[in-house]
Each structure stands twice: as C-alpha cells, then as structure tokens.
Amino acid sequence: MSGRIDVLVLDDEAAVASAAAGLFAELIRRKPNAVLGLATGSTPEPISAEMVHLYRDTGLSFAKARAFNLDEYLGLDGDHDQSYRFFMQKRLFDSIDIRAWNTFIFDGTALDPEQECRAYEAKIRAVGGVDLWLLGIGGNGHIAFNEPGSDPASRARVVTPDEETVKANSRHFADPSAVPTRAMTAGVGTILDARQIVLVATGAHKADAVAQALEGPRSSDCPASLLQEHPDCTFLLDSAAASQLC
Ligand code: PGA
C-alpha cells in the first residue's frame, strides 16, 4: 500500500525536473520567504537547472527564501569539488538571487560535528520549519544519508553511509577511494517535520527502491517507506523508476 503518498509518473527525467521545480516556484510565489529543503545528486541536478531557468526567464526571485540542504560529507571543505556545498553553489546558488546567509549546509570541516548537527536543527526550528523538502532515493531506499535501519524519529547526526552508497557515490570522484566514509545528515524525523515533501526518482535502477517505499511495509528497512506517514508527500517518477509498481 502506498499509504497517503501521491504518485505522479511522468515521461522522462526532464518532465520530472520541470514538475519538481514547478512545486518550488509555486511555493515561492505564494510565500516569498519560504524555507526550501534541497538535495544534491544526479536526480536533483536537472531540477537545479530548471530553477535557474525559472529565475532567469520568468523572474522567480529567491531573494527572501531560505534554503537548507539534506547532508554533507564529513571532512570535505565547501571548496572541495565533491562537497555538497560546492555542488549547490555551482549548480544553483551562484546563478540565482538567493542570499548567501540564507543558505544552510552542514560545514563538513566543523570541529565538533555533533554540535554542527544540533545547530542545524536549531536553525530549522528558528525559521519555523521547512516548507518543502526535495529528496532523492538511494538504490537501497535511503533518504539523505539515512540508511536502512535509521530510526524514524532520528534527527540530524553524524552517520557512516552504507558501503553500497559509498560505492554509488564513488562515480563522482577522480579517486574512488577518496569518498568520505562519514557524513552529516538531516534525520528521518527532521525530514518528516517538513510541511510538504517531494521525492524524485528516475531510471530503472531506482525501481525496486521506489516499489519498496510505496508498496512495502512502512519500515526502517527502507527509509523512504517511512514517508508513508507524511500527510503531504508526492513521488515524481519517470516510467522506468515506476516500472516495478503494481
Ligand atoms: P542520485 O542520488 O540522484 O545521484 O541517484 C540519490 C540519493 O542517493 O539520494
């Protein structure tokens, strides 16, 4: 059972990106100082491109928006080309009018990472919570770096990504052995607190995880299935990612 999750199956990656960016545009037009929850990765990348297009060509302004990112590698400086801060600057923040001081990503070089995680939660609370959180999904059902076994009530914390995740992410690194083995991530509970959630998945390699999340039991074995309890969650899928759904 898919619980209360809305599912939209679209033609291709471009349609998924356009629909996801459209949800953010709609939110920002309604609430210019909205709190955006953003994500990195191959699936969110075209969504960032679409947001830049909306900024340049339709006048969508991020000037009052606040943005939180899901996760960051521990040990990578924001200038490192594989840090998620770097990804966000290059793919989105440097190309839109969002204010630097309104972008919140864990500092991968924080001296006290646990304190960095507590500060992240406190900042989210201070701005009144996240309005719309964008998520990808891992082949093992993870959301952010919440791997199978993550507590549904978990908050921001330091984690050790699964070997499968480290391997999947190594494709982006010139030296695959250089992928950090620890990270800071928003917790499942942090994500579930968002007023609205949109999960995007494209490609056949995500089909199993998507089917587990929507049609499997709500269980920490597939962290994305924990979204079934959220009152306003939508999955935007291309037909390949939806191919295992009944
Ligand atoms: P991907 O990552 O979009 O690069 O496949 C998704 C994820 O692991 O959350």
Give yes or no for residue 110 having a pLDDT over 70.
Answer: yes
* CA pair distance 69, 18, nearest whole angstrom: 20
Q: What is the mean pLDDT of residues 7-34?
A: 98
Q: What is the mean pLDDT of the chain?
A: 97
Annotated catalytic residue within 50, 142, 169, 238: 142
C-beta separation of 213 from 60 below 8 A: no
Instruction: Give the pLDDT band (50/70/90) at residue 1.
Output: very low
* Statement: the pTM of the whole predicted model exceeds 0.75: yes
Give yes or no for residue 2 having a pLDDT over 90.
Answer: no
pLDDT tens by residue, 186-195 = 999 999 999 9
Burial, 141: exposed, middle or buried (Cβ in 10 Å; 0-12, 13-18, 19+)? buried
The response to whether residue 46 sits with its C-beta less than 6 Å from ligand 1 reads no
pLDDT tens by residue, 36-75 = 999 999 999 999 999 999 999 999 999 999 999 999 999 9
The pairing of strands 183-185 and 71-73 is antiparallel
Q: Which residue has the higher pLDDT, 118 or 176?
A: 118
What percent of the chain shows pLDDT beyond 70? 99
Give yes or no for residue 17 having a pLDDT over 80.
Answer: yes
Tokens of 22: 């459209």
pLDDT for 38: 98
The response to whether residue 42 sits with its C-beta less than 6 Å from ligand 1 reads yes
Query: 28: closest CA among 47, 54, 57, 5?
Result: 54
* CA pair distance 152, 56, nearest whole angstrom: 39
Alpha-carbon 123 to chain mean position: 17
Rounded to the nearest angstrom, the distance between the alpha carbon of 145 and the centre of ligand 1 is 10
Q: What is the mean pLDDT of residues 158-180?
A: 94
C-beta separation of 4 from 231 below 8 A: yes
Residue 200 alpha carbon, nearest atom of ligand 1: 3
Mutate which of 42, 199, 208 for ligand 1 pocket (most atoms within 8 A of beta carbon): 42
The response to whether residue 136 sits with its C-beta less than 6 Å from ligand 1 reads yes
The response to whether residue 216 sits with its C-beta less than 6 Å from ligand 1 reads no
pLDDT for 3: 53
* CA pair distance 126, 211, nearest whole angstrom: 36
Examine the residue annotation and report whether 147 is marked as an active-site residue of this protein.
Answer: yes
Residue type, 183: A
Examine the residue annotation and report whether 140 is marked as an active-site residue of this protein.
Answer: yes
Q: Identify the sign of the CA torsion 74, 75, 77, 80.
A: negative
Taking CA atoms only, the protein residue closest to ligand 1 atom 8 is 138
Annotated catalytic residue within 69, 140, 146, 169: 140
C-beta separation of 37 from 133 below 8 A: yes
What percent of the chain shows pLDDT beyond 90? 98
Q: What is the mean pLDDT of residues 165-171?
A: 94
